Structure 1
């Protein structure tokens, strides 16, 4: 092939492939967008978790889910007589919250941590209040009638049932989930209370804006 024929062939191939190659090249250069440029969607976005309830705090005052509209909410269902799981989970939850509060006090002020008992027969307003206060003055303890608790737990997809009897009294079986809920009461994410307090703080920092 002579020189002129080679040049003509090269120009023809360039004209054919350049429109296809250019977007690929630009895509390779952009890398699909940085993590900061690509908004991450909340893991529980759109999940049918959460709903209205009315319970009572340590003073017997009625507290409704709608009272926290405009604030983020952390909510955990457990019981004060729990010998192991609940204290560990709630401690991790509130230690993580404390780290987040230290780093971002203004944002933390817009978050309400809530503990709801699943054992209202034993967890009176006074007892649930003492339990919550043992972990943080920011943690709000709530109780109510069995029907109110059952309804609230169901709306948050929390399993709970009376378990076996022990010398110290009966135990309760229940889900171990700490939810982060948004300003409108929408589900955002589950906090990793099965990991470290630093992991909990990092998850709060990711979603509370």
Structure 2
């Protein structure tokens, strides 16, 4: 896999920031935790600085791994906080250039992949727990099991959409043909993901 790398300077602390993912829209400084948005060839600081605390995850930025015999690289992470705690979502790019998200929540893991960008008019209160929905006729009929609101606590590495620490994020969980579904409604990302739960012994990490 060929990687084209560019170097930027953090607009907050001046530290170097490596850019290797062409689709990145947010880059986070490893030194000070400043989130920046990539605009053409410049970085623009967005929100307050926030370094994520490491709670002993098996994943880390730059790590190589394989899932279902497909190799990937961990490029980024976003942490979402709610009243009862938080969960992490790790952004990965497979060697065939497909993208995925590893949801890590209290020792449970799901590999999600985006299947549909949703219209921005969809709101979490449109989705009713215990009912079927087609997401305003945008996707297949899905059973909604849970809805929630969270806050973007911060990010790490390279992310494919813009985030600002502290901004709101709404979510809905569901089931589609026996597989978990996640609907994510952030200011710069409204999308539907379908996942595959896995145990750590079902994934290889370098």
Normalised by the shorter chain, which TM-score bucket? under 0.3
Query: Which structure's CA Rg is the greater one?
Result: 1
TM-score normalised per structure 2? 0.23
TM-score normalised per structure 1? 0.23
Of Structure 1 and Structure 2, which has the larger fraction of its residues in helix?
1
Of the two structures, which has the highest relative contact order with CA contacts closer than 8 Å and spacing of 6 or more?
A: 1
